[in-house]
Structure formats: C-alpha cells, structure tokens
Structure 1
Amino acid sequence: MENKMQDFPEPNYNVHVFYYVWYGNPQFNGKYFHWDHSLLPHWDPKVASGYPSGRHQPPDDIGANFYPALGPYSSRDPLVLEEHMRQLRTAAVGVLAVSWYPRSMNDDNGEEIDNLLPLVLDAADKYQLKVEYFIQK
C-alpha cells in the first residue's frame, strides 16, 4: 500500500535531524563502511589492555550502540532511503542535515558521497523534506 502525503503529519521545517549517508554493506558497496569501524580504546592504557582491539565484524558485531531494524544497511540502497524518508516524515521532521565532504575527500571509514546525493535529494523531495549540508573539511 503506497502512502499518500495526507497520511503523514505536516513536516515541521523547524525540526532538523542529522542524516548520515556513510553506511555501506557488501551488497551495495562491495564491503562494509562504518559498521566495521575500529574498536575505540579506553583512554587509560591499563584499562584498554583488558578489552579487545581491532575492528567490529558485521553483520552481527557492528559499530553502533543499537542494532538497526533494517540491519547493517547501505545508504545507497534505494529501499533504505525510501524507508528512512517515510519514517522521518511520519515523525514530522522537516529538514535533513547531511554531512558532506569536498570532492575526493571522505572520512576515515567511508567513501565519497557526491554520486549518492541526488538519490538522497530525490527521496527527501518525495516526502516533502528539505536537505541542508553540514560541510566537513
């Protein structure tokens, strides 16, 4: 059953959320991004020595406090984008703040997102959501 805009509350353009598009999985990206980031060590080396080191090992062990209902998804999956936009609109969110790195730059755990942004813009527009960019450098 397709949702109609009247089925949703009006978007509140005073409500902004950070929407991170840096997640990847083998199906869409060839490997995991961000779900497999390094385990963060304790600041005290004595304490840190009592804990594991290395990287998270998805799909069961992910670098997140909560396991997503959609599993360790890819931000490039059109069905994930659609579902996220539907959820945001259901919550009356109005604006997505998307982190963006200048061309040929990315964070330590991800990939360039320039070619993903049109998909995000289209998915947001379908649900009458606005997108702003949080510019990283």
Structure 2
Amino acid sequence: MENKMQDFPEPNYNVHAFYYVWYGNPQFDGKYVHWDHPLLPHWDPKVASGYPTGRHQPPDDIGANFYPALGPYSSRDPSVLEEHMRQLRTADVGVLAVSWYPRSMNDDNGEEIDNLLPLVLDAADKYQLKVVLILKE
C-alpha cells in the first residue's frame, strides 16, 4: 500500500533527528558494518577482566542496546531507507542530521558514504524531509 503525503502530518522543520547511515550487512555490503563493533570494556580493569573481549557477532549479537525491528539492516537497502523515512515523517520529524566525512577521511570502519548520500537525499525528498550534513574533521 503506497503512502500519500496527505496521510502524514506536516513535517516539522524545527524537529531534527540524527540519522546514522553507517550500518551494513552481508546482503548489501558484503559484511556487517558497525553492527559488529568491538565489545566495549568496563572502565575498571578489574571488572573488565571478568567479561568477554572481541567483537559482536551479528546477526544475533549486535553492537546496539536495542535490536532493530528491521534486523541488522544495511543503510544501503532501499526498503530500509523507505521505511525509515516513513517512520520519521510519521513522527513529525522534518530534518535529518547525517554525519559526513570528506573523501580523504572515513569512520572507524573505513567505509565511505558518498555513494549512499544520493539515496538518502532522494528518500528524504520523497517524504518532504530536509537533510543537513554534520561535517566530520
């Protein structure tokens, strides 16, 4: 069933939401990205010694406090972008704040997002959402 813009509240451009586009899965990215980040140690070495080390092991063990309803998705999956934009518009969000690294820089996983930004911009535009970039240095 296709959504019509009149079915949504007007976007509130005073409401911004951070939208992280750094997630990946084997289907779209050839591997898990960010879902498998290292296990974070306890700040006290004595306490930390009693806990496992290594990395999260998706799809059941992911690096997040809450398991996403869409599973460990890829930010490059068009159906995920569509669903996220629909959810944001339903929540009366008007602006997405997306972190962006210049081409000479990457996040901790070394993944560039330049080829993903047009997909995000198109999906956001479809739902009358605006996108601002948070420039990383």
TM-score, length of structure 2 as denominator length: 0.98
Please give the root-mean-square deviation of Cα atoms over the aligned residues, in Å: 0.7
Query: 1:110 offset after TM fit, Å?
Result: 4.7
How many angstroms does 1:64 deviate by?
0.2
Could you list the per-position Cα deviations for residues 88-113 of structure 1 after superposition, in whole angstroms to 9, with x for gaps in the alignment?
A: 00011000000000113211125000
Distance in structure 1 (CA, Å) of the matches to 2:134 and 2:29: 23
Gaps of 5+ in 1: none
Structure 1's consecutive aligned runs of 4 or more residues displaced over 6 angstroms after TM superposition are none
The separation in 1 between residues aligned to 2:110 and 2:95, in whole angstroms, is 23
**What is aligned with 2:82?**
82
1:43 Cα shift? 1.2
Structure 1 length-normalised TM = 0.98
Q: C-alpha distance in 2, partners of 1:72/1:89?
A: 22
Count of aligned positions: 137
**What is the CA distance between 1:14 and its match in structure 2?**
0.2
User: Could you list the runs of 5+ residues in structure 2 that have no partner in the other structure?
Assistant: none
**Bigger shift: 125-134 or 100-109?**
100-109
> SS at the partner of 1:112?
coil
Deviations 1:7-66 (A, max 9, x none): 000000000000000000000000000000000001111110000000000000000000
Query: Residue 55 of structure 2 aligns to a residue in which SS?
Result: coil
Q: 1:11·1:128 contact (CA, 8 Å) conserved in 2?
A: yes
CA distance in 2, matches of 1:83, 1:42: 35
